[in-house]
Amino acid sequence: MELGKALFNIAALADLGEEITSEKNFQEKLHSLLHVVLGTFLASRGAVTCQDRSGDTMAFVARRGFDDLSPAAIDLGRIRSAGKNEPFLNADDAALAAAGVEVVTPLWVRDEFIGTILLGRKFTAEPYSREDFELLRVISHQVAITLNNHALFLNLSEQLNDNRKLYEEMRRIYHDTLQAFAAAIDAKDMYTRHHSQRVARYASAIARELGWSDHDIEGIYVAGFLHDVGKLVISNELLNKKTPFTEEEKAEIRRHSLVSYKIISQIKFPWKDVEKIIKHHHERLDGTGYPDALSRDDLSEGAKILTLADSFDAMTSERAYRRKMDLRSALIEMNSCLNLQFDDKIMLAFCRVLDKEIKGELPEPDILPHLGRESDLTVISAMLEGLIEELSGQKDGG
């Protein structure tokens, strides 16, 4: 049940993100957004309203049902006094109740009231749950930004800079949502808190060093967040086991990459091959990995990046069955696994990123902030310079 709900919520948010960033005109976009919202909550009726520029009245910008509800009947004072983007059950407003409105969500962007999302009862007649309200809260942020972007567009000369900031805010909210799902995955294993977030940052840093486009970097960032979603089907007892795994338990643990693939492949993301990158993040160049025992030539660059990022974080994190490695030991271990588990081109890019971070050449470090301070960075820097020279020679010679 937990897995099905997580999959449904991820899919709903992916659909919503696709509609928000689509090229449709505003009216089409709003009706599509409303359709996604109604489908997500199985609501029989719904509407999105927008406050006019005077701030005194509301207007319906999309609705299905509520034909007898007049915008003038909506008590704006009461709605504005509720929490920003916080859904609440309509219990006191007789006009809304008479029209069949069961849930009201006030839409805000920063300190500006934008409008509302109104929902009727569910087709199933079930009450709205706490989980429904949490998901609706995330959705309300995105709908509010969409409405506000349109209002700003009508006054283009004043809004060019704000529009860029609001687009970034929309992207941030989307990524915050992905982080929430990643946190739910990581929470099953007490030893891997923030693992998915770190893997996402490491993978995107490597991809950036390799010259990937911003769009593709965002794709592998998302793959990093969701690569372990299949662990939702594995018991907490097994994930947190401190004694060696039996062969049957190893097989159960290894099943998570295939389950992750099956979940993610059902969602239409705007990035290429996210599901395959996730499926293959436990493959090895020598063909001894899982689930498909692929070898070097069969693996995408994205899968090779995620493999290294995931393994590095596993090495440098505490686990139930072993202590974490210091940075020097992890680099030695990774170097010993070159061309068996890790690709030398990916390892070279990783070493370059880490070296630049130590030397302060990157404005926003992605790796060092997540590591312990046990290692002498002067020693590590000298070690990295040697690895970079060696790997660059291999690359030039190969």
For the chain, what is the mean pLDDT?
81
Does 176 fall in a domain? no
Whether residue 260 contacts residue 291, with contact meaning beta carbons closer than 8 Å, is answered with no
Whether residue 326 contacts residue 374, with contact meaning beta carbons closer than 8 Å, is answered with yes
Q: Could you give the number of structural domains in the chain?
A: 2
Query: Do 153 and 210 belong together in one domain?
Result: no
CATH classification at residue 107? 3.30.450.40
Query: Do 138 and 59 belong together in one domain?
Result: yes
Query: Do 327 and 289 belong together in one domain?
Result: yes
The region of weakest confidence among 171-175, 204-208, 370-374 is: 171-175
Query: Do 167 and 294 belong together in one domain?
Result: no
Look up residue 381 and give its amino acid: S
Claim: this prediction has a pTM higher than 0.75: no
| Residue 6, pLDDT above cutoff 60 | no
Give me the percent of the chain exceeding a pLDDT of 90: 28
- What is each CA distance from 145 to 62, 215, 277, 300, in whole angstroms? 15, 21, 31, 36
DSSP string, 187-229: TTSTT-TTHHHHHHHHHHHHHHHTT--HHHHHHHHHHHHHTTG
Query: Do 166 and 209 belong together in one domain?
Result: no
Whether residue 59 contacts residue 76, with contact meaning beta carbons closer than 8 Å, is answered with no
CATH classification at residue 208? 1.10.3210.10
The distance from CA 218 to its chain's CA centroid, rounded to whole angstroms, is 10
Of the residues 136, 171, 206, which one is the last residue of a structural domain? 171
| Residue 23, pLDDT above cutoff 50 | no
| Residue 234, pLDDT above cutoff 50 | yes
| The pLDDT of residue 156 | 42
| The pLDDT of residue 290 | 92
Does 314 fall in a domain? yes
Compare 213 and 98 and report the one with higher pLDDT: 213
| The pLDDT of residue 185 | 62
Whether residue 205 contacts residue 367, with contact meaning beta carbons closer than 8 Å, is answered with yes
Does 182 fall in a domain? no
| The pLDDT of residue 57 | 74
Choose the most confident range, by mean pLDDT, from 101-110, 274-283, 371-380: 274-283
Residue from 156, 182, 164, 43 nearest 105 by CA: 43
Tokens coding 130: 């706490």
Does 180 fall in a domain? no
| Residue 15, pLDDT above cutoff 60 | no
Whether residue 120 contacts residue 43, with contact meaning beta carbons closer than 8 Å, is answered with yes
| The pLDDT of residue 358 | 92
| Residue 111, pLDDT above cutoff 80 | yes
Compare 274 and 13 and report the one with higher pLDDT: 274
Taking only the tens place, the pLDDT of each residue in 43-83 is 888 888 887 766 667 788 888 888 888 877 777 788 888 88
Query: Do 222 and 76 belong together in one domain?
Result: no
Query: Do 152 and 225 belong together in one domain?
Result: no
Query: Do 254 and 321 belong together in one domain?
Result: yes
How far apart CA 3 and CA 308 sit, in angstroms, is: 27
Query: Do 128 and 25 belong together in one domain?
Result: yes
Query: Do 158 and 196 belong together in one domain?
Result: no
How far apart CA 225 and CA 146 sit, in angstroms, is: 25
Domain that holds residue 45: 2-171
| Residue 8, pLDDT above cutoff 60 | no
Query: Do 239 and 388 belong together in one domain?
Result: yes
Query: Do 273 and 149 belong together in one domain?
Result: no
Does 177 fall in a domain? no
Does 295 fall in a domain? yes
